[in-house]
Amino acid sequence: MKIAVIGGGSTYTPELVMGFLNRVKELEVSELWLMDIDEERLKIVGGFAQRMVEAQGSPFKVILSTNQRESVKGASYVTTQLRVGQMPARREDEYLGRRHNLIGQETTGIGGMAKALRTIPVILQLAEDMAELAPGALMANFTNPSGLITQALSMFVPEVPVVGVCNVAIGVKMRILESLEKKLGQKIDPARGELNTLGLNHLTWHRGFKLDGEEIWPQVLKEFIATQKDSDEPEFPAELIQTMKMIPNYYLHYYYDTQYKLEEQKKWPPSRAEEVMELEKQLLKDYADPNLTEPPAELMERGGAYYSTAATQLLNSHFNNLGEVHVANVPNRGAVAGWPEDWVLELPCKVDLSGVNPLPAEPLPETCFGLIAQVKSYEILTAKAAISGDRDLLYKAMLAHPLGPAVDQIKPVMEDLLVTHKAYLPLFWK
């Protein structure tokens, strides 16, 4: 079986390769193609990946390529971890926000919009290549903003099966399990735990947790509230959790604590992009070491915790028809009654040979739904703007986003975004 990784020069790639190595007896990979347009990074990261696989007895081949169509041809699965413009573009996204007193972040607000606009045309071309050269292959999209990108793919290339994957939900699940392990004094197989969460990618609310099929959310909630009360820097106010009886995804800080986040931005540099750029320098130096055959500890600081688990176990469940439940991003398709069928949501899904199928879920309360509906409107408008270069649609998308600019600032912000990323946004300059 052939698997293609688009954006194979990413510093995340060794984590993904380790995931495939850990499942080599279940997931029958014969060829792992790492594709990237940056030849230098591909050589360093890909070379390290090849040494990792060789050290494990070469259970599959790692093939390096700068040719997307060649990499995709005949693949059973394609995973995406693109970054159009690489880290310098992410840094521009962050400082774009700061210049206008808006949130500058990779996945939300004006920064997330800029990244989506650069990415959508590129990833749609990939999907079209897949439709032609790898019909039926499943795309696992890790490219941020993952929910928005997956929404665009489902809208414009519906013939290509796609699932948006993120490591946030599995990270929350593992933290809950670690807390339970400390209490019980024994290890718990992660397969025994199931997180109930719903919303959009990076805009979800966790509202249930089952251990061996038994609901233990009241216990989880009680312990989380206690930790918030005891903390000098609580993740969220205890009264918020007590009132909602849910735990918001930590990205909701940008919506619930906007002013605090804006004040944090004023302390830059370094922004998160600048921090990651320094981390990547070290990682690439490590990867270039001909004696290195295992991912270094610094990789976790990059933000890759459970990345391989989230990606490779989902593919394993699909390939082997396991029917496991994974939190993923897919079109609603009636799973949440009363919500639009075509909205890409992040929610528990059953994963087997038939695909990644969302499980029936109770709608979120009005407190959450209003925000979701607003952000989803922004996502759909942004996707349409990205493929058309229509500035009026872009204006409307900025108007729709709850973290967007005031109406008298939309035009200046839009012009700044388009000029800053002109090289990557040709459709807006025709």
User: Structure tokens of 15?
Assistant: 């984590």
CB-CB contact of 346 with 201 (8 Å): yes
For residue 254, what are the contacts with CB-CB under 8 A and spacing of at least 6?
103, 105, 108, 109, 261, 403
CB-CB contact of 393 with 381 (8 Å): yes
Burial of 266 (0-12, 13-18, 19+ CB in 10 A): exposed
Cα dihedral: 28, 34, 35, 38 (round 10): 170
Q: How far apart are CA 142 and CA 48, in angstroms?
A: 21
Residue with tokens 């925000």: 371
Residue with tokens 């990108």: 149
Residue with tokens 């060794």: 14
Residue with tokens 């929910």: 147
Q: How far apart are CA 371 and CA 147, in angstroms?
A: 15
Nearest to 104 by CA among 54, 374, 112, 7: 112
Which of 95, 250, 251, 395 is catalytic? The answer is 251
Q: How far apart are CA 422 and CA 416, in angstroms?
A: 10
Q: Where are the alpha helices (DSSP H) in 146-216?
A: 146-156, 168-184
Cα dihedral: 369, 374, 378, 379 (round 10): 0
CB-CB contact of 196 with 246 (8 Å): no
CA distances from residue 10 to 84, 189, 277 in whole angstroms, order as listed? 12, 30, 12
The amino acid that residue 87 corresponds to is M
Residue with tokens 């688990």: 309
77 among known catalytic residues = no
User: Structure tokens of 373?
Assistant: 């509906």
CB-CB contact of 284 with 114 (8 Å): no
- Which amino acids are annotated catalytic? 251
